[in-house]
DNA sequence: GTCTATACGATGATAGAC
DNA sequence: GTCTATCATCGTATAGAC
């Protein structure tokens, strides 16, 4: 049994019972993030959770259902982060700053989970995929809303609002692909850098 | 045999002989981009190329070698695009503009190839992976060089040069994940939008 | 709920005819 | 160089004991 790399803070599986299901979810995240869904065997997941392969099927109907659970919880968390920023007090610029800071930081701090959330969608079954897509649409709308508010208020100089919203999300999401805890940047530092870069994106250029 | 979706312009496999190997490379790109490397069977690849599974092994030693060939050619092309911009005449701002425009446009226009190039690295064997990593380092250095030139010349206002270079590459790379030919943006339009956004990133903010 | 044992289909790769 | 046939292995998932 391999020891899973543990990310900081409270587990995403705090509400899950029984404990064995929690261990399987955690092991699934680790394995899927490392090798990808299709390259991960149920033997590997069960082994990391300290169980036999058969035990997995007591808690999840299939391997795909395990992925779906991970994806669902992860997407809900991601939406919560953006919703928190979108619904907070402050100017559009402050809300956008907070959205980008928190969203990119989450993708860095939880890069293992985020990698599965963002890059294993295609492995979901049709119905599960459809359910996840609605969550993703929410995230997109919430962020676009902040930018629309800023443009309407005259705070942002943005020509292509949907394109800019897409670029901002894309920038944050891709953190999950390349971020490593061994790198030279902490998640906090990355959040600040990215919030600054996005702040510039929505602002008419001044002088160098 | 399924008909492969054909991307515009000359094939990336123009130099490859014999023609059957070309068909396999092309079929491999399609299949890997659609389902991912591990979910793709040699039967699927061979079927798309109009051959039996056994024929694949005449032209490639393993399925992994087929992926490596695709990845190698794709990365060389990607490096060529950035090198072309970095080595071109013009101010750092003009060179950065060209780099981002061409690089993001390539990821859009060739999103099928780019998806395999950018997202199937982990499926490569150790030695092949190491060879690809050197190409990726080149790409990173070339782009960072442009930004360094601009900062040195006083054209760019950038605090964190490696971080900004990383963000710019990341933004362009992630296009391969979400871009669809069915979407509302052409690759050309995307290139212009992204060049504008990055131009703002390296410029001290003015007023909205 | 967990284990051992195993069914059974699919997969990467090869053998040998043409 | 390509095909048909096939091998050895591995994968998901289940059966049945405890």
Does A208 map to a domain?
Answer: no
Rounded mean pLDDT of B10-28?
A: 93
Tell me what pLDDT residue A10 has. Answer: 82
Tell me what pLDDT residue B59 has. Answer: 98
In terms of domains, do B14 and B37 share one? yes
Rounded mean pLDDT of B64-73?
A: 98
Rounded mean pLDDT of B13-18?
A: 88
Whether chain A has a CB inside 8 Å of the CB on B183: the answer is: no
What pTM was estimated for this model as a whole? 0.96
A95: burial class by Cβ within 10 Å (0-12, 13-18, 19+)? buried
Whether chain A has a CB inside 8 Å of the CB on B204: the answer is: yes
pLDDT above 70: percentage of residues in chain B = 96
Rounded mean pLDDT of B193-198?
A: 98
Choose the final residue of a domain: A60, A86, A104. Answer: A60
Range of the domain at B134: 64-202
Does A207 map to a domain?
Answer: no
B206 vs B51, which has greater pLDDT? Answer: B51
Rounded mean pLDDT of B74-78?
A: 98
Residue B35 to residue A156, Cβ atoms within 8 A:
no
Tell me what pLDDT residue A1 has. Answer: 43
pLDDT in tens, A152-193: 999 999 999 999 999 999 999 999 999 998 899 999 999 999
In terms of domains, do B39 and B115 share one? no
Tell me the chain A residues in contact with residue B38 when contact means C-beta distances shorter than 8 Å.
Answer: 36, 38-39
Whether chain B has a CB inside 8 Å of the CB on A80: the answer is: no
Does B207 map to a domain?
Answer: no
Tell me what pLDDT residue A208 has. Answer: 52
Structural domain count of chain B:
2
What's the Å distance between residue B16 CA and nucleotide C17 C1'? 29
In terms of domains, do A22 and A96 share one? no
Whichever domain contains A178, its CATH number is 1.10.357.10
Does A146 map to a domain?
Answer: yes
Which residue from B199, B200, B208, B206 is spatially nearest to B96, judged by alpha carbons?
Answer: B199
Does A111 map to a domain?
Answer: yes
Residue B200 to residue A199, Cβ atoms within 8 A:
no
pLDDT in tens, A8-63: 778 889 988 899 999 999 999 999 999 999 999 999 999 999 999 999 999 999 99
Does the pLDDT at position B108 exceed 50? yes
Number of Cβ pairs closer than 8 Å across A and B? 103
pLDDT in tens, A108-154: 999 999 999 999 999 999 999 999 999 999 999 999 999 999 999 99
Nucleotide closest to B43 measured between CA and C1':
C11
Answer positive or negative: Cα dihedral of B139, B145, B150, B154.
Answer: positive
Q: Which residue is nearest to nucleotide C6 (CA to C1')?
A: A54
Does B208 map to a domain?
Answer: no
Burial B52-67 (b: 16+ CB within 10 A, else e): eeeebeebbeebebbb
In terms of domains, do B132 and B192 share one? yes
In terms of domains, do A195 and A97 share one? yes
Tell me what pLDDT residue B16 has. Answer: 82
Does the pLDDT at position B111 exceed 60? yes
In terms of domains, do A74 and A151 share one? yes
Helix (H), strand (E), coil (C) string for chain B? CCCCCCCCCCCCCCCCCCHHHHHHHHHHHHHHHHHCCCCCCHHHHHHHCCCCHHHHHHHCCCHHHHHHHHHHHHHHHHHHHHHHHHCCCCCHHHHHHHHHHHHHHHHHHCHHHHHHHHHCHHHCCHHHHHHHHHHHHHHHHHHHHHHHHHHHCCCCCCCCHHHHHHHHHHHHHCHHHHCCCCCCCCHHHHHHHHHHHHHHHCCCECCC
What's the Å distance between residue B60 CA and nucleotide C13 C1'? 11
**pLDDT mean across residues, chain A:** 95
Whichever domain contains B25, its CATH number is 1.10.10.60
In terms of domains, do B126 and B68 share one? yes
Tell me what pLDDT residue A5 has. Answer: 55
Omega prior to B197 cis, within 30 of 0: no
pLDDT in tens, B127-186: 999 999 999 999 999 999 999 999 999 999 999 999 999 999 999 999 999 999 889 999
Which residue from B6, B50, B44 is spatially nearest to B28, judged by alpha carbons?
Answer: B44
In terms of domains, do A95 and A68 share one? yes
Q: Which residue is nearest to nucleotide C12 (CA to C1')?
A: B42
In terms of domains, do B50 and B71 share one? no
Does the pLDDT at position B208 exceed 70? no
Choose the final residue of a domain: A44, A60, A76. Answer: A60
In terms of domains, do A126 and A27 share one? no
In terms of domains, do A25 and A51 share one? yes
pLDDT above 70: percentage of residues in chain A = 96
Tell me what pLDDT residue B2 has. Answer: 45
In terms of domains, do A5 and A41 share one? yes
Does the pLDDT at position A3 exceed 70? no
**CB of B200 under 7 A from strand C?**
no
pLDDT in tens, A93-117: 999 999 999 999 999 999 999 999 9
Residue B203 to residue A201, Cβ atoms within 8 A:
no
Which residue from A15, A8, A18 is spatially nearest to A72, judged by alpha carbons?
Answer: A15
Q: Which residue is nearest to nucleotide C3 (CA to C1')?
A: A52
Positions of strand C less than 7 angstroms from a protein CB: 1-6, 10-16
Does A161 map to a domain?
Answer: yes
Whether chain A has a CB inside 8 Å of the CB on B39: the answer is: yes
């Amino acid at each position: 049994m391999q020891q899973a790399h543990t990310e900081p803070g409270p587990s995403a599986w705090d509400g899950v019972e029984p404990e064995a299901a929690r261990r399987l979810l955690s092991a699934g995240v680790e394995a899927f993030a490392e090798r990808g869904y299709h390259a991960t065997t149920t033997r590997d997941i069960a082994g990391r959770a300290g169980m036999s392969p058969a035990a997995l099927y007591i808690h999840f109907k299939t391997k795909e259902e395990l992925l779906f659970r991970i994806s669902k919880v992860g997407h809900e968390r991601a939406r919560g982060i953006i919703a928190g920023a979108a619904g907070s007090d402050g100017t559009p610029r402050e809300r956008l700053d907070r959205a980008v800071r928190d969203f990119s930081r989450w993708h860095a701090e939880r890069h293992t989970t985020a990698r599965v959330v963002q890059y294993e969608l295609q492995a979901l079954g049709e119905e599960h995929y459809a359910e996840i897509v609605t969550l993703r649409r929410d995230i997109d709308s919430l962020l676009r809303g902040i930018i629309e508010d800023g443009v309407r208020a005259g705070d942002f100089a943005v020509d292509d609002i949907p394109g800019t919203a897409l670029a901002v999300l894309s920038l944050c999401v891709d953190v999950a692909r390349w971020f490593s805890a061994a790198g030279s940047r902490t998640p906090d530092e990355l959040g600040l850098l990215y919030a600054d870069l996005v702040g510039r994106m929505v602002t008419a250029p001044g002088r160098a």
